[in-house]
Amino acid sequence: MTIRVAIAGPRGKMGSEAVHTVMKNDNMELVAVLDHREIADSLEDYAEFPNNYCIPVYTDLESLFKTERPDVFVDLTTPETVYKHTKEALLNGVRPVIGTTGFTDEQLEELTELSTELKLGTIIAPNFAIGAILMMKFSQMAAAYLPDVEIIEMHHDRKLDAPSGTANKTAQLIQENRRGHKQGHPDEVETIEGARGADIDGMRIHSVRLPGLVAHQQVLFGGEGQLLTLRHDSFSRSSFMSGVKFSIEKVMELDDLVYGLENIL
């Protein structure tokens, strides 16, 4: 069976890689892309793509769904638009595969309910890279033994959301194995606001944004006389593409929402 795929954000760093990934796969057909700028009617007329990419470009998601009838909708856009896109996909009977980060807990809850109610698979993957998923799982394991944790996530300086989706997901997994408690000195004081980072049940998250970086995370576990550091680096967006391919195939078998690829790998 050929899976009909639509991608939102085709000019982006992730979206353009995903376009090539779907184009290269024999069991998938890229039926349309969604842009929010009127650039051209077909991807072949974009500077980023070769002239055999005769893929229609839409600026309206509803018309894309009604005309092209994709099976799967891949979103790689912005935190501002992703929730609306995901809901629209589900309401049009299209299975979302979402890489865009920045969902609130309330939005995740609502989309989980909608996906279950419609019996339509959805994948929301804060990180598609297998190494990052392993780093998150190992962190969850370590937190049971070393509950004093600080997460340092480091990204390129074009990133819109902080902390990253990966850091949020890591913290959530750790929370399942770590009893919440205040870390550091009980009387510690921040003389500059934010110096100790974001606080999740006493665990800290620090977000670094610098040109030159892609996507990196360290999870530090401190114990008596020791430090365990778990680190993952994505040096290029190609690191995410096997996860994108896997998710497009897997979502066709699901009938509810999965948040995080660690649940289905």
Ligand X SMILES: NC(=O)C1=CN([C@@H]2O[C@H](COP(=O)(O)OP(=O)(O)OC[C@H]3O[C@@H](n4cnc5c(N)ncnc54)[C@H](OP(=O)(O)O)[C@@H]3O)[C@@H](O)[C@H]2O)C=CC1
Q: Which stretch binds ligand X (CB under 6 A): 13-21, 115-123, 136-144, 219-227?
A: 13-21
Task: Report the residue number, 61 or 98, with the smaller CB distance to ligand LZUJQKHR.
Answer: 98
Site for ligand LZUJQKHR in 196-215 (CB under 6 A): 215
* 176 neighbors 120 (Cβ within 8 angstroms): no
When asked if residue 101 is in the footprint of ligand LZUJQKHR (CB under 6 A), the reply is yes
Instruction: Tell me which of ligand LZUJQKHR, ligand X, none is bound by residue 100, counting a contact when its beta carbon lies within the kind-specific cut-off of 5 to 8 angstroms.
Output: ligand X
CA 41 vs CA 33, 54, 94: distances in Å: 10, 9, 22
Given ligand X, ligand LZUJQKHR, none, residue 239, with its beta carbon under 5 to 8 Å by kind, binds none
Residue 155 annotated among the catalytic residues of the structure: yes
| 3-state SS track over 27-81 | CEEEEEEECCCCCCCEHHHCCCCCCCCCCEEECCHHHHHHHHCCCEEEECCCHHH
**Of the residues 36, 87, 137, 159, which is catalytic?**
159
* Residues β-bridged to residue 123: 97, 258
SS3 state of residue 150? strand
Distances (CA, A) of 148 to 44, 132, 138, 152: 52, 20, 15, 14
Q: Which stretch binds ligand LZUJQKHR (CB under 6 A): 80-88, 158-166, 173-181, 218-226?
A: 158-166
In the numeric block, the tokens 């944004």 are attached to 209
Partner residues linked to 231 by β-bridges: 218
Residue 198 among known ligand-binding residues: no
Please give the residues from 166 up to 195 whose contact with ligand LZUJQKHR meets the rule CB under 6 A: 166
The reply to whether 70 sits near ligand LZUJQKHR by the rule CB under 6 A is no
Parallel/antiparallel/unpaired status of strands 226-234 and 122-124? unpaired
3 state DSSP class of 98: strand
Q: Quick check: 35 binds ligand X (CB under 6 A)?
A: yes
Nearest approach, Cβ of 19 to ligand X (angstroms)? 11
Residue 155 binding partner per list ligand X, ligand LZUJQKHR, none, with a CB distance cut-off of 5 to 8 Å that depends on partner kind = ligand LZUJQKHR
Q: Is 76 in the site for ligand X (CB under 6 A)?
A: yes
Residue 217 as a binder of ligand X (CB under 6 A): the answer is: no
DSSP letters spanning 210-225:
-TT--EEEEEEEEETT
DSSP 8-state assignment for residue 156: -
Q: Which residues define the annotated binding site for NADP(+)?
A: 37
- The catalytic site residues sit at 155, 159
Interface residues toward ligand LZUJQKHR, by CB under 6 A? 101, 126-127, 155, 159, 164-166, 215
Interface residues toward ligand X, by CB under 6 A? 8-9, 11-15, 34-37, 76-79, 81, 99-102, 125-128, 158, 165, 240
